[in-house]
Structure 1
Amino acid sequence: MATLLLIAIYLAFISLGLPDSLLGSAWPVMQPEFEQSLETAGYIFMAIASGTIVSSLASGWLYRRLGTGNVTFASVILTAAALLGYSYSSSLVWLILFAVPLGLGAGAIDSVLNNYVALHYKAHHMSWLHCFWGVGASTGPIIMSHYITGQGSWRAGYFTISILQFSLAFVLLLVLPLWSKVSKISESKAEASYHIEPAEPISGKTRPLSIKGVKFALVSFFFYCGAESTVGLWGSSFLVQSKGISAAGAAQWISLYYAGITIGRLITGFITLKISSKMLIRTGQIIALMGAVILILPLPAFISLPGLILAGLGLAPIFPCMIHETPIRFGKHHSQSIIGFQMAAAYTGTTFLPPLLGILASHTSIGIFPFLAAVYMMAMLFTSEKINKIIKIRVEQNIAG
């Protein structure tokens, strides 16, 4: 039963990733059809992310009342219905309206499953969980590119992803009883059980946001998701307008960017058995920054394009490792609340940072894309290192005391 449940969790993260990369891949075709400016995609993205922020903050409340299984199933249904609505949307107003349930479903499932795996499974399972998100995120542009190339229709792409989402929801419905059964299994018999202790004792009465390092963690998540989503949303437009690549070709390259994240997380799952999460986070941030620098350099397309893949590979270990470190850094008692806050911060970055680039690009050019992506990555690296310093001081004080 525990194995079947883990498979269901992986499937749920595939469904979480499927819609995430669709808008960026389809926008070069959607933009002229709806007669909208370049930055309009940023506003739609803001609407999606706003829903994720609300449901992330409410994840603790939803978990206590519905349980992880019910929240997961309902979230997939919500996103499937929203994607179906997208495929029939006739105006920008409908795109924005359907963006809200799409975001609500994504935020809820993201928070509850991340906390569940952080508490009950080892680090390699967390990396593989987000690897399956990458499977969904990299599959989305492939499907969209197929329909754009073959039929010139982005609507068919959204419709197909919606059907896939409904199919995954049916699978989750079948395994719904497993959540309550597996929860009754003794932790001593579960593969995932392991001892979690923060670097220092943290009282259950302590407010999560008052714990040292939590605020830097929120800022780090803010810039991580800002960087990841900025590349995913605007990378295709950058390739089309600055590098002269076709819309279908650009969608395929964005798919490779997400594939880099996916493959990187698959590999990270094995590396975590030998290397600490802290080292993986730091190394990934440096590699992602190198990818952005390659895109900045005035190189031919065939040389600069691999910078997207390098950025994806670098970003791969950061998010799952930071999530898995949460109960270790800040204590098991506060993990659900803090992970909910982190998800909200992450999606706040998704809400504001990609649209910021769109606004700036509309007044300058899309050529600023790699520069701003590099700035986001440097900010993420800085705040992450601040957390490491705080945790190091805490451990030293704990040993001295």
Structure 2
Amino acid sequence: MTADRSRPMDLPLVTMFGGFALTGLVTVLLGPALPGMSERWHIADSQAGLLFAAQFFGTTLTSIVTPWRVRLSLVAGYALVAAGMATLAFAGYAVAIAAFALLGMGLGLSLTATNLLVGSTDADRRGRLLTRANFFWAVGAVVCPPLIGLAERLQQMRPLLLFLAVMLAFVSVRLLPLLRMKEAEPNVSADAEQHQTGKQAEPPIYFFLIFAVILFLYVGTENSIGGWITEYSHRFLGIPAARASLAALTFWLMLVASRGIASELLRKVSEAAILLPATMLAAAGTLLLLLRHGTAVVFVAVAVAGLGCGPVFPLLTSRLFARSGSSRHVGWVFAACGCGGAILPWTMGLVSTGTGSLRTAFAVPLAALAMILLFILSGSRHGRAASET
């Protein structure tokens, strides 16, 4: 079976990228909203961590099945996210767990399907298009903190959530024509098709396992920093809950800026030339958050972490698609992303409750970034050794 590779002109990129921006907003919504929710519902960090876990375990479940029906998953995913937002608008803590699980299921479908469709484009455009798609996701993430902060100050959170639900439902309807297009048969590497007319075996299973671990660690790191930094600023810097979202805004703003820069740099430099320095920068910013310091240093640390995190996910997924194409194994690799997004922020909540220090809990994403660096350095050494033989 041959994969029906997508071309950029075949896809409704304006709607897909616009929808991706909305998913970025929804994905990070819990972080900026957490201080207000914690005060209203009187919940501990360990209970707040369950909300992260519910969302990203939902993402894990649906990411696995997405490669089997990519376009249907895209349309259904936005519908589920819309339903989750509408439910959250009327939720208390117990119902919010179910609402975030529903959101996560929809995000697992829509995010994975978008990455699969964009990742199956021509090899020479794949890295730039994936970086651009994730740039729009990050734009939504940037808009989220000030929007949530404004809604909290005006006490208009419910109308905001219902408005977002309507917008997401609109995207789902706009993508319905995709269902009339033939589904790809995702079994063969896209790059292999470009060079051969026959079938080519997929990469060995350990290849997918390695990427599953790396993406588990990265998505968990991104969601840990972006998810907890608002509460961190509120608690340790004494910033009011409605304004503490400025720290999350700084993180996502630098993340989106670095993805935009990386998208242009990739015209001139290789993906490898960006990936390693970016990961090191993210680790340096996270390390700063573990140290005692004032407001200015916190915002510098958050900015550095965001700047480093920006290019990492799209460059890793570009490497994944370069070898695997549209393999169905990609589904459980993206499921590992959702699992990391659930487990690492939840672990931070448990560490914070156990040690009595949210600052100490930032050792969790720092350890994850250190492991990613080890994988990248190991892969670079193996690549050089292979090229010399």
TM range (shorter): 0.7 to 0.9
Is 1:232 aligned to 2:233, yes or no?
Answer: no
Q: Which residue of 2 aligns with 1:321?
A: 315
Q: Which residue of 2 aligns with 1:196?
A: 191
Given candidates 366, 371, 376, the residue that maps to 1:374 is: 366
| Alpha-carbon contact 1:295-1:305 (below 8 Å) kept | no
Give the drift of 1:4. Answer: 7.1
Aligned length: 372
Give the drift of 1:231. Answer: 0.5
Given candidates 264, 268, 271, the residue that maps to 2:265 is: 271
Amino acid at match of 1:98: A
Amino acid at match of 2:251: Y
Q: CA separation in 2, counterparts of 1:221 and 1:126?
A: 15
Moved more, 167-176 or 375-384: 167-176
| Alpha-carbon contact 1:323-1:339 (below 8 Å) kept | no
After superposition, give the CA deviation of every residue in 1:126-153 in whole Å (9 maximum; x if it has no partner).
11100110111121221110011232x5
| Alpha-carbon contact 1:60-1:340 (below 8 Å) kept | yes
Q: Give the RMSD, CA atoms, in angstroms.
A: 2.7
Give the drift of 1:298. Answer: 2.5
Q: Which residue of 2 aligns with 1:163?
A: 163
Q: Which residue of 2 aligns with 1:191?
A: none
Given candidates 348, 359, 377, the residue that maps to 1:357 is: 348
| Alpha-carbon contact 2:255-2:306 (below 8 Å) kept | yes
Amino acid at match of 2:17: Y
Given candidates 303, 318, 321, the residue that maps to 1:309 is: 303
What is the DSSP-based 3-state SS (H/G/I as helix, E as strand, rest coil) of the residue aligned with 2:267? coil
What is the DSSP-based 3-state SS (H/G/I as helix, E as strand, rest coil) of the residue aligned with 1:244? coil
After superposition, give the CA deviation of every residue in 1:222-245 in whole Å (9 maximum; x if it has no partner).
110111010111111111222222
Is 1:7 aligned to 2:1, yes or no?
Answer: no
Q: Which residue of 2 aligns with 1:75?
A: 77
Amino acid at match of 1:86: L
Change (3 A) 1:392 1:337: farther
Change (3 A) 1:175 1:361: closer
User: What TM-score does the superposition give when structure 1 sets the normalisation length?
Assistant: 0.85
What is the DSSP-based 3-state SS (H/G/I as helix, E as strand, rest coil) of the residue aligned with 1:20? helix
**Where do 1:49-128 residues align within 5 Å?**
49-63=56-70, 68=71, 70-90=72-92, 92-121=93-122, 122=125, 123-128=127-132
| Alpha-carbon contact 1:213-1:391 (below 8 Å) kept | no
Q: CA separation in 1, counterparts of 2:129 and 2:321?
A: 15
Q: Which residue of 1 aligns with 2:50?
A: 43
Q: Percent identity?
A: 23
Q: CA separation in 2, counterparts of 1:134 and 1:170?
A: 20
Give the drift of 1:212. Answer: 4.6
What is the DSSP-based 3-state SS (H/G/I as helix, E as strand, rest coil) of the residue aligned with 1:120? coil
Contiguous gaps of at least 5 residues in structure 2: 1-7, 185-189
Amino acid at match of 1:196: D
What is the DSSP-based 3-state SS (H/G/I as helix, E as strand, rest coil) of the residue aligned with 1:237? helix
After superposition, give the CA deviation of every residue in 1:17-44 in whole Å (9 maximum; x if it has no partner).
1111211111111112212112212111
| Alpha-carbon contact 1:197-1:331 (below 8 Å) kept | no
| Alpha-carbon contact 1:23-1:233 (below 8 Å) kept | yes
Given candidates 108, 130, 138, the residue that maps to 1:134 is: 138
